Structure 1
Amino acid sequence: MSHLLLVEDDPDLTLALRMLFTRAGYDVSHAGNGRAGLREAYAEHPDLVVLDVGLPEMDGWQVLERLRDLSDVPVLMLTAHGQETEKVRGLRAGADDYLTKPFANAELLARVEALLRRSGSSATWASQIYDDGLVHLDPTQRRVYVSGREVRLTPTEFRLLNALLRHAGAVLSPNQLLTQAWDDPTGIGQERVKFAVLRLRRKLGWSDPEDSPVESVRGFGYRYRRPPNQPSGRAARA
């Protein structure tokens, strides 16, 4: 039985969709806002997420961006806006499909079934342990080891390191790191990323920029350089 996560704040629509999906044979969980949706997604690892754009506090676009840092889980977005620009924005941001309200129940179910068939319910999640021989990071246990030595990090430092490791070799801009590492990046300046990276390097024992695997790329952002001749860093799910 496939597990669907419905992230929707309208109680009437939520009730209707839960009944629709349950009768169609799906296991359904629900979150009423974006932050709760992300927590539920991380904890439950659904096979598909049905995500409303107009959520309170953290809107659907922000939730989608965070979800894409966690997983390639299929995401079907629901919105009251039918403009072509909105649909293009959703697909470019990583949504797999886009449906405008009001919609027919049969069409919604057909789109859900199609997405599940294409994905094969094989979404990978960032709860996987990362280990490249130098750094071992366990998201479930919230533990980090460098060369076998455990390092205590703050929640923000942990998320910052996790983001860099998951995108090893790629340059992440300060704005991307703000989005991935800070619970509420609104109003937080890019300078804060710089100082957080400096603190992270010190804690990990990489104070010398020349020797640090976390390197600054002038004018672009930061990158984690995987140690040479080491594995890719992927491991079995925790």
Structure 2
Amino acid sequence: MSRLLVVEDDPDITLALKLLFTRAGYEVAHAGSGRTGLREAYAERPDLVVLDVGLPEMDGWQVLERLRDISDVPVLMLTAHGQETEKVRGLRAGADDYLTKPFANAELLARVEALLRRSSNAASWASQVYDDGLVHLDPVQRRVYVSGEEVRLTPTEFRLLNVLVRHAGAVLSPNQLLSQAWDDPTGIGQERVKFAVLRLRRKLGWSDPEASPVQSVRGFGYRYSRPPAPDRREDAAAG
């Protein structure tokens, strides 16, 4: 049974969410403030966090930022604001999905199910270890090393990197990345991919787009360029 953590301060919405998720077969924990939510997330290790933006004292944006420092748990953000800028802000900050109040119960459950499914299948998308001398990626252990240094990635960032390196040299369109890394080609689409790639580059130390192995191909999509293999003749001469 998957365990959900609902971080919501409105008692009516909290009750409705608890009933909805419990009837759907989930175990539900609740926190009424951002600080309590962080403590619960750290102590209980939920499978998914449903996070309200408008929380007292510490709002949802602050909670998300600190949560990403300690966990890669999938996060579905709830907000009363439906502006495009708010959605972009949530995705840029590391949220895995975003839903505006009021929402349909069926849509909320479908999004939760999709996030849990993608999270549980992340390690099985490609079971073999990938290593090209620069990137070492282990899907089973969910560990990534760049130049020998371990880098912590969210589930979405891990899947995105996994897709890119497994198709090294090929240009993948935003829709292809959405379908393989998010399993969700709908929504705001290209902007979701754009900001995820920016976060991934930053975490991997590849912020300079000119030097990054993850390249933007204008009008087409993104490509991972595998580093060149060492010249064996030079190695032999040096030896």
Tell me how far apart the structure 1 counterparts of residues 46 and 15 of structure 2 sit (CA, whole Å).
19
Deviation at 1:122, TM superposition (A): 7.5
Aligned to 1:113: 113
Aligned to 2:46: 46
Query: Are the structure 2 counterparts of residues 121 and 24 from structure 1 closer, same or farther at C-alpha, using a change threshold of 3 Å?
Result: farther
Counterpart amino acid of residue 69 in structure 1: D
Aligned to 2:5: 5
What is the aligned residue count?
A: 126
Kindly provide the CA deviation profile for residues 199-225 of structure 1, in whole angstroms up to 9, marking residues without a partner as x: xxxxxxxxxxxxxxxxxxxxxxxxxxx
Kindly provide the CA deviation profile for residues 134-183 of structure 1, in whole angstroms up to 9, marking residues without a partner as x: xxxxxxxxxxxxxxxxxxxxxxxxxxxxxxxxxx789xxxxxxxxxxxxx
Aligned to 1:86: 86
Aligned to 2:76: 76
Counterpart amino acid of residue 42 in structure 1: Y
Identity of aligned residues (%): 87
Aligned to 1:25: 25
Matched residue of 1:58: which SS?
coil
Deviation at 1:97, TM superposition (A): 0.2
RMSD after superposition: 1.8
Aligned to 1:58: 58
- Asked whether the 8 Å contact 1:22–1:28 carries over to 2, the reply is yes
Query: Are the structure 2 counterparts of residues 169 and 45 from structure 1 closer, same or farther at C-alpha, using a change threshold of 3 Å?
Result: closer
Tell me how far apart the structure 2 counterparts of residues 120 and 4 of structure 1 sit (CA, whole Å).
14
More helix by share: 2
Matched residue of 1:88: which SS?
helix
Matched residue of 2:5: which SS?
strand
Deviation at 1:121, TM superposition (A): 7.8
Matched residue of 1:120: which SS?
helix
Query: Are the structure 2 counterparts of residues 12 and 50 from structure 1 closer, same or farther at C-alpha, using a change threshold of 3 Å?
Result: same
- Asked whether the 8 Å contact 1:34–1:59 carries over to 2, the reply is yes
Tell me how far apart the structure 2 counterparts of residues 108 and 169 of structure 1 sit (CA, whole Å).
34
Query: Are the structure 2 counterparts of residues 121 and 60 from structure 1 closer, same or farther at C-alpha, using a change threshold of 3 Å?
Result: farther
Aligned to 2:202: none
Tell me how far apart the structure 1 counterparts of residues 68 and 104 of structure 2 sit (CA, whole Å).
27
Deviation at 1:53, TM superposition (A): 0.2
Query: Are the structure 2 counterparts of residues 115 and 169 from structure 1 closer, same or farther at C-alpha, using a change threshold of 3 Å?
Result: closer
Counterpart amino acid of residue 23 in structure 2: R
Tell me how far apart the structure 1 counterparts of residues 70 and 107 of structure 2 sit (CA, whole Å).
28
Counterpart amino acid of residue 35 in structure 2: R
- Give unpaired runs (5+ residues) of structure 2: 124-148, 152-239
Matched residue of 1:28: which SS?
strand
Aligned to 1:165: none
Runs of 4+ in 1 over 4 A off after TM superposition: none
Counterpart amino acid of residue 91 in structure 1: L
Tell me how far apart the structure 1 counterparts of residues 40 and 121 of structure 2 sit (CA, whole Å).
17
TM-score (norm 1): 0.51
Query: Are the structure 2 counterparts of residues 122 and 10 from structure 1 closer, same or farther at C-alpha, using a change threshold of 3 Å?
Result: farther
